[in-house]
Amino acid sequence: MDDKLKKLESAALKALKEASSPDELKNLEKKFLGKSGEITGILKGLASLSIEEKKSIGKAANDLKKTLAAKFKNCCNKIEMEHLNKTLESDEIDLSAPGRKHHIGHIHPIAQTQEEVERIFGQMGFTVIDGPEVESEYYNFEGLNIPAHHPARDMQDTFFIDKAADKKEGRLVLRTHTSPNQVRTMEKYGAPLRIIVPGRTFRNEATDASHEHTFDQVEGLMIDENISISHLKGVMQEFLSRLFDKEMKVRFRPGYFPFVEPGIELDMSCIFCESKGCKVCKKTGWIEFMGCGMVHPNVLKAGGIDSEKYQGWAFGFGLTRLVMMRYGINDIRHLTGGDLRILNQF
Ligand code: PHE
């Protein structure tokens, strides 16, 4: 019996040495160690032996089973590694090849500046409001004290939408400014109010370096009891100083917009020459920044706000122009033309 075990051991070891694939190895394991394998056969045959033989042969057979099991395991690992290496070589995967580059996009300079504007006004307690780009004539004009035959309508050459007019709100237009949201917000929230409305606006402009049919504005509106124009000056001076990260000054000139009274043009100190006078500010030290003024009582009325109790101011500036100044871009078409060679620089 001992002899038989010895022969079995050397046969198994020899076969292991010669095995070259995981499949072959599996078959050998079955043959020697499996349920109906050779060693199990010997262990099963123990029943017919004497007690002495049972003890010695049983032990020897079990020892052999353990040794062979360990050897199979080692061999199995080795063969699997070899097999894997061979597959990798023949599959032509070049592990040393450089990876594919992922192009990560970035925020458009107009949106970057919009976020900055929202952040600063947010810190000053203003809520950011959104409004429709396709507006009604009513909110774009009438509600803002610009009746149908008022010459002020000519200030903003408008795109009309080809759709039947609504009895109450008139025709549909692409909003020519963000101001329609003054009345919209008053109707929705009432007074007091402290809001900004950034967004796209549209005018039928001939395109050149400083005009586009599509551009971005930011509307501002503050309504409360005892609000005066000095609050507007303070807010704008603070906003511009935070945006440009330096002490900024503003000045008022008279301006005309039917929805404010008095109407004001606000200039800011020239950021390019520290107000000494340069080409951009035409040697004045000031740059035109926005239209603003005290909200006209007719507009408060349209928004359902008691103009005896409340008053306030509104402003509207061109976000696109602000971006151009901020980044020194001299042609508006660079921002809207979608040329990545330009946009990728910001
Ligand atoms: N809506 C005006 C424009 O687009 C700007 C403005 C807003 C003026 C609010 C006064 C008050 O030109």
Phi first, then psi: give them for residue 338, nearest 5 degrees.
Answer: 75, 20
Identify the domain boundary among 91, 118, 133. 91
Q: Are residues 285 and 251 in the same domain?
A: yes
Closest atom of ligand 1 relative to the 178 alpha carbon: 1
SS3 (DSSP) at 59: helix
Residue 60, domain extent: 2-91
Distance, CA 316 to ligand 1 centroid (Å)? 4
pLDDT at 78 over 90: no
Identify the domain boundary among 63, 91, 119. 91
pLDDT digits (tens, 9 = 90+) for 43-67: 888 888 888 888 888 888 888 888 8
pLDDT digits (tens, 9 = 90+) for 162-216: 999 899 999 999 999 999 999 999 999 999 999 999 999 999 988 999 899 999 9
Q: Are residues 196 and 339 in the same domain?
A: yes
In a domain, 101, yes or no: no
User: Which stretch of 91-95, 150-154, 290-294 has the lowest confidence by average pLDDT?
Assistant: 91-95
Q: Is 181 in the pocket of ligand 1 (CB under 6 A)?
A: no
Q: Which residue has the tokens 């590694």?
A: 81
pLDDT confidence bin for 88, thresholds 50/70/90: confident
Q: Are residues 206 and 66 in the same domain?
A: no
pLDDT confidence bin for 131, thresholds 50/70/90: very high
Average of per-residue pLDDT across 227-253: 97
Non-local CB neighbours of 5 within 8 Å, separated by 6+ positions:
42, 57, 60, 61, 64
Q: Are residues 264 and 156 in the same domain?
A: yes
Q: Are residues 117 and 62 in the same domain?
A: no
In a domain, 30, yes or no: yes
Q: Is 177 in the pocket of ligand 1 (CB under 6 A)?
A: yes
Average of per-residue pLDDT across 137-165: 91
Q: Are residues 57 and 122 in the same domain?
A: no
pLDDT at 261 over 70: yes
In a domain, 31, yes or no: yes
Alpha helices (H) along the chain = 2-18, 22-33, 38-45, 51-90, 109-123, 137-140, 180-189, 229-244, 297-302, 319-327, 333-336, 340-343
Q: Are residues 158 and 290 in the same domain?
A: yes
Q: Are residues 80 and 218 in the same domain?
A: no
The residue to mutate among 257, 292, 295, 313, having the most atoms of ligand 1 within 8 angstroms of its beta carbon, is 257
In a domain, 104, yes or no: no
Q: Are residues 213 and 323 in the same domain?
A: yes
The CB-side HSE value for 312 (13 A sphere, CA atoms) comes to 27
Q: What is the CATH number of the domain that holds 233?
A: 3.30.930.10
pLDDT at 151 over 70: yes
Query: How many separate domains does the chain show?
Result: 2
Q: Are residues 115 and 66 in the same domain?
A: no
Distance, CA 179 to ligand 1 centroid (Å)? 6
Protein residue with least CA distance to atom 9, ligand 1:
315
In a domain, 99, yes or no: no
Better-predicted residue by pLDDT, 240 or 156: 240
Average pLDDT value for the chain = 92
Identify the domain boundary among 91, 124, 153. 91
pLDDT confidence bin for 338, thresholds 50/70/90: confident
Q: Are residues 43 and 124 in the same domain?
A: no
In a domain, 102, yes or no: no
User: Which stretch of 148-157, 237-246, 326-335 has the lowest confidence by average pLDDT?
Assistant: 148-157
Q: Are residues 162 and 86 in the same domain?
A: no
pLDDT at 301 over 90: yes
pLDDT at 2 over 90: no
DSSP per-residue letters across 140-190: HTGGGT--TT-GGGGGS--PBPSSPPBTTTBSEEE-SSSTHHHHHHHHHH-
The burial class, CB within 10 Å (0-12 / 13-18 / 19+), for 162 is: exposed
Measure CA 133 to chain center: 21
